[in-house]
Amino acid sequence: MRRCHHCLVDVEGNWEVCPLCGNPLLGTEKEATPSPFPDIPLTFKKHLAIKILSFISITVVLVAFLIRMIWPTKLNWPLMVFFGALSMWLVVATIIRKRRNIAKGIVYQIALLSLLSIFWDYTIGWRGWSLDYAIPLLCGTAIVAMFIAVQVVKLEVRDYILYIVIASLLGLIPLLFLLFQWVSHPFPSFFSVVLSIIMLVGTVIFRGGEIWAELQKRMHL
């Protein structure tokens, strides 16, 4: 079995370099031995995910209705919250179906859907809804969806930790909208920024060591 002296792990198969850091492996192919551990497929608690999503969706929609009853506005808050909850359902459904690359898929979805929303907004005459609502809600619901997915799907820390940081950093993009006054309705952007800061701070406090170790492996430090 070949060994990477940088990552301090044994690598099976015909690898010439370490799949984690890219450094050359020591040892010979003849020494390769089968793994004594069975290959257990990734599992997840589907019913738990549905219960959590249902509770969050119903709660936020009811709160939106209550807020509109107390402070009536022209803006249809319940409808906007409903679309946000629907986005969260779609994101979680997608990542459960593609759960081998959950965190990476969420980051791609944030970037792709944000660009699409700007394109659609520009195409119909630029009403500003993409900056006011679409991008902040996408970032906020994606961060929540990623947190739920990590809790209900059995993942290794290295499989999601960097993508949580990236998603949280993307969630800070609406801060630019606030600073440059590009939005007419600042609450969604404010929500996304606060949620991102909470996620970043929590991740650094509780998983700072894993983040640094993963950066060292991926950037060959």
DSSP secondary structure string for all residues of 143-171: HHHHHHHHHHB---GGGTHHHHHHHHHHT
pTM of the predicted protein model: 0.55
CA-CA distance, 2 to 14, in Å (whole number)? 9
Per the CB < 8 A criterion, the answer to whether 165 and 215 are in contact is no
Residue 30 has what pLDDT? 47
Residue 40 has what pLDDT? 52
CA-CA distance, 87 to 80, in Å (whole number)? 11
3-class DSSP assignment, residue 184: coil
Residue 202 and residue 163 in one domain: yes
Residue 85 and residue 187 in one domain: yes
Residue 26 and residue 70 in one domain: no
Residue 168 and residue 147 in one domain: yes
Length of the chain: 221
Residue 67 and residue 30 in one domain: no
Residue 87 and residue 143 in one domain: yes
Residue 25 and residue 50 in one domain: no
Beta bridge partners of 11: 2
What is the extent of the structural domain holding 57?
Answer: 46-218
Residue 81 and residue 57 in one domain: yes
What is the tens place of the pLDDT at every residue in 50-109?
788 788 888 888 888 888 888 887 767 777 777 777 767 766 666 666 555 666 777 777
Residue 86 and residue 17 in one domain: no
Residue 59 and residue 96 in one domain: yes
Residue 131 and residue 109 in one domain: yes
How many structural domains compose the chain?
Answer: 2
Residue 3 and residue 101 in one domain: no
